[in-house]
Amino acid sequence: MFNDKTSKFLLVAGLLLILGGAFAPNWIVNQFMFGFSRALAILGLMVLWRTGLVSFGHAFYFGLGAYAVAILDIKLGVTDVFLRLIAGALVAGTAGFLVGFIMRNYRNIFFAMLNTAISMVLFGIVVKTEALGSTDGFAISMSTILGVSPETKYPLFVIITLVGMVAAILVNYYLKTTFGKLTTAIRDNEIRVEYLGFSVAHAIHLKYSISAILAGGAGALMAMSLGQVDPESMINWTVSGELVFITILSGPGNVIAPFIGSLVFEVLRTYAFELAPQAWQLIMGATFLTIIFFIPGGIWSVLEKIGGKKNDK
């Protein structure tokens, strides 16, 4: 069940990256850490995007994951990387499951807007609450791995890469199950899906919960990589926009796409920022428009064309 080309590619690429990371300079490792942390959230948004749903508020789950790590660190002194990751994913996943009961009845603009509203509620609470760090946020202590505190960031990079790899393989498997395949079908015609004997609401609820778990995990990993959390860069609606941006940039074609897309985003942002600190958003926005207009399939569709469709779906 895991012996398809995509899973094999992920396994090999993941291990090669981990090997390569040992020799790569620090700034490259950093870019990969940020890129792959975010890619986890994109993976979930991709599942929703295939279903025809765009959430303009997944910073809610991203922020929940990140703040779960911060609160655990400050209140309980939890520094273990796995505990932090699980806590982030669990908190966001639970929230996503609960919100999902409402969200599964919403489509299109209303789906996007309700997500925005919920994420802004959290933003409003965090920004105005001293105990939650207000606008300054928190600094997070270095993560330990099973009791050992690492000298460099490399071990964290290895873990992020492994988590990303496993998550991508699992999502790839999920998308091949019958229930997982109810993506494009729902987008195209919900009534027919119902006639086939499936509950659209249940399918969307599950996908939404998966995307929340992944976004929460992404937030937790991001908080650990950055070493700090703050509402402006974790929960505000512009963060949600950024996540959607990367999803479209990556393209819905394959579970590998979010990882490539997030890396491209990270590199693009770094270079745009160095090239023109006043105009990096302009460059990003223009890229976004170009993708929407001319490359609706995202980076993945371009790679597919170059590769002559040799890669399997």
Please give the Cα distance from 219 to 41 (Å, whole number): 8
Residue 282 is a binding residue for other proteins (CB under 8 A): yes
Nearer Cβ to other proteins (37/55): 55
Q: Indicate which single residue of 20, 202, 285, 312 sits in contact with other proteins (rule: CB under 8 A).
A: 285
Cα-based distances in Å from 194 to 189, 201, 203: 9, 10, 11
* Shortest distance, position 281 Cβ to other proteins, whole Å: 4
Name the residue nearer to other proteins (CB basis): 71 or 118.
Answer: 118
**Residue choice 47, 114, 175, 229 for contact with other proteins (CB under 8 A):** 114
Q: Which of residues 239-278 bind other proteins (CB under 8 A)?
A: 241, 244-245, 248, 278
For residues 159 and 200, which CB has a smaller minimum distance to other proteins in the complex?
A: 200
Q: Which stretch binds other proteins (CB under 8 A): 15-23, 162-170, 222-230, 284-292?
A: 284-292
Amino acid identity of residue 224, one-letter, is M
**Is residue 20 within the footprint of other proteins (CB under 8 A)?**
no
How far is 310 from 9, CA to CA, in rounded Å?
13
Residue range at the interface with other proteins (CB under 8 A); choices 88-96, 117-125, 160-168, 201-209: 117-125
Alpha helices, H only, the chain: 5-21, 26-50, 59-71, 81-103, 108-128, 154-176, 184-188, 190-195, 200-226, 231-234, 237-250, 257-275, 280-294, 298-306
Measured CA to CA in angstroms, residue 130 lies from 59, 75, 133, 139, 140 at distances of 20, 14, 5, 14, 17
Contact window for other proteins (CB under 8 A) among 21-29, 102-110, 193-201, 258-266: 102-110
Binds other proteins by CB under 8 A, chosen from 125, 142, 267, 275: 125
189 lines the binding site for other proteins (CB under 8 A)? no
- Asked if 138 touches other proteins (CB under 8 A), the answer is no
Indicate the SS3 state at residue 174. Answer: helix
Q: Quote the DSSP letter at residue 143.
A: P
Structure tokens at 220: 């937790």
Task: Read off φ and ψ for residue 229, nearest 5 degrees.
Answer: -130, 145
Residue 281 makes contact with other proteins by CB under 8 A: yes
Q: Where are the beta strands (DSSP E) in 57-163?
A: 138-139
- On whether the CB atoms of residues 264 and 49 are closer than 8 A, the answer is no
Residue 229 to residue 84: CA distance in whole angstroms: 14
**Residues 6+ away with beta carbon under 8 Å from 219:** 41, 61, 62, 63, 64, 65, 66, 67, 68, 69, 88, 92, 234
Position 227 contacts other proteins (CB under 8 A):
no
- Restricting to residues 37-56, name those near other proteins by CB under 8 A: 54, 56
Residues 55-94: x where in contact with other proteins by CB under 8 A, - otherwise, as a string: -x--------------------------------------
Least Å from the CB of residue 303 to other proteins: 21
The answer to whether 238 contacts other proteins (rule: CB under 8 A) is: yes
Contact residues toward other proteins (CB under 8 A) are 54, 56, 102, 106, 108-110, 112-114, 116-118, 120-121, 123-125, 127-129, 236-238, 241, 244-245, 248, 278-282, 284-286, 288-289, 292-293
